[in-house]
């Protein structure tokens, strides 16, 4: 079965995987139809779990393969991973500066990016949308590597997509339910919750296309996605998960998320 999948167009595979991760977000967002409020401790646990998954995926699914692909450079094999990783962080920093947004749990006066008159709800959704860009890119780049027809690359890409899908489920709930608390109807809360992940299939296709068209860029692209994800984890997920006295629970959730993703990657990848 894996050989048959590996023979498919990598861009098509990336699109399907991006739709899967988007669907996981939508499924999580649908919990707003059953719950009106989200306990702060539970929200922090969800964010911590997502952070752990993303940290593990950044290394085992992205940085480590980038270094392996550059092994021909000998002692300099770290260069593509280093350059790509730093560029990923720079890219997310630029996106942060260019797109107005507001992190959940922060007062409106602390909104980031250019001045805007957009409603608070839109700014909140934009903050999660920015967060989802590197996830989509990571999935796309991973599936772009399948252009070689390598079954191992396909399995690694599937594991990455599955891992991101796992953490997208609680993340969807962590977006839609607080939006309900902001006064939106359940329908609108669900709509905006799932909409925050619509960028994932889009950037998955973009990432796969770039890798397929310019294959030498693959190690840089893998590291770029890792750098962008780590930026999101450090700048957003971990600080937000450590709010209001639930640091121990959030930290434990981060460890569990990391352990699950590491296990999936090492055992199946």
pLDDT of 3 > 70? The answer is: no
pLDDT value at position 111? 81
CA-based angle 201:232:195, to the nearest 5?
A: 35
4 compared with 166, residue with greater pLDDT: 166
268 compared with 47, residue with greater pLDDT: 47
pLDDT value at position 16? 95
pLDDT of 252 > 90? The answer is: yes
Give the tens place of pLDDT for each residue, 196-211: 899 999 999 999 999 8
SS3 at position 214: coil
Report how far apart, in Å, the C-alpha atoms of 162 and of each of 205, 208, 229 are: 17, 17, 16
Name the β-bridge partners of 101. Answer: 112
Q: Are 223 and 153 in contact (CB under 8 A)?
A: no
Q: What does the pLDDT average to over 188-196?
A: 91
Identify the band that residue 31 occupies on the pLDDT scale cut at 50, 70 and 90.
Answer: very high
42-56, 145-159, 226-240: segment of lowest average pLDDT:
145-159
What are the residue ranges of helices labelled H in the chain? 2-6, 10-29, 40-56, 64-69, 78-98, 120-144, 151-181, 186-195, 199-213, 218-232, 238-241, 247-268
Give the tens place of pLDDT for each residue, 82-122: 999 999 999 999 998 888 888 776 777 778 888 887 787 88
pLDDT value at position 228? 94
pLDDT of 260 > 70? The answer is: yes
Report how far apart, in Å, the C-alpha atoms of 100 and of each of 175, 183, 237 are: 17, 21, 18
pLDDT value at position 150? 61
Q: What is the mean pLDDT of the chain?
A: 87
Give the tens place of pLDDT for each residue, 61-71: 899 989 988 88
High-pLDDT (> 90) share of the chain, %:
47
pLDDT value at position 162? 92
Short-list 85, 33, 42, CA closest to 64? 85
Q: Are 198 and 15 in contact (CB under 8 A)?
A: no
pLDDT value at position 73? 85
High-pLDDT (> 70) share of the chain, %:
94
Identify the band that residue 6 occupies on the pLDDT scale cut at 50, 70 and 90.
Answer: low
């Amino acid at each position: 079965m894996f050989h048959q999948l590996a023979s498919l167009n990598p861009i098509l595979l990336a699109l399907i995987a991006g739709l899967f991760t988007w669907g996981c977000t939508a499924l999580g967002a649908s919990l707003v139809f059953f719950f009106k409020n989200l306990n702060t401790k539970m929200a922090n646990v969800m964010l911590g779990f997502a952070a752990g998954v993303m940290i593990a995926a950044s290394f085992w699914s992205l940085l480590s393969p980038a270094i392996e692909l550059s092994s021909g450079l000998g002692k300099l094999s770290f260069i593509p991973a280093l350059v790509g990783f730093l560029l990923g962080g720079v890219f997310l920093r630029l996106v942060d500066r260019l797109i107005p947004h507001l992190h959940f749990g922060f007062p409106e006066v602390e909104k980031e990016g250019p001045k805007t008159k957009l409603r608070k709800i839109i700014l909140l959704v934009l903050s999660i949308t920015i967060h989802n860009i590197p996830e989509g890119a990571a999935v796309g780049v991973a599936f772009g590597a399948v252009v070689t027809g390598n079954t191992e690359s396909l399995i690694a890409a599937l594991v990455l997509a599955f891992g991101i899908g796992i953490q997208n489920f609680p993340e969807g709930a962590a977006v839609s339910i607080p939006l309900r608390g902001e006064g939106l109807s359940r329908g609108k809360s669900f709509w905006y919750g799932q909409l925050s992940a619509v960028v994932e299939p889009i950037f998955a296709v973009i990432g796969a296309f770039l890798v397929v068209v310019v294959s030498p860029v693959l190690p840089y692209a893998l590291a770029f996605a890792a750098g962008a994800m780590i930026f999101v984890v450090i700048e957003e997920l971990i600080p937000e998960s450590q709010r209001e006295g639930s640091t121990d629970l959030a930290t434990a959730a981060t460890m569990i998320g990391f352990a699950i993703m590491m296990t999936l990657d090492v055992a199946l990848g």
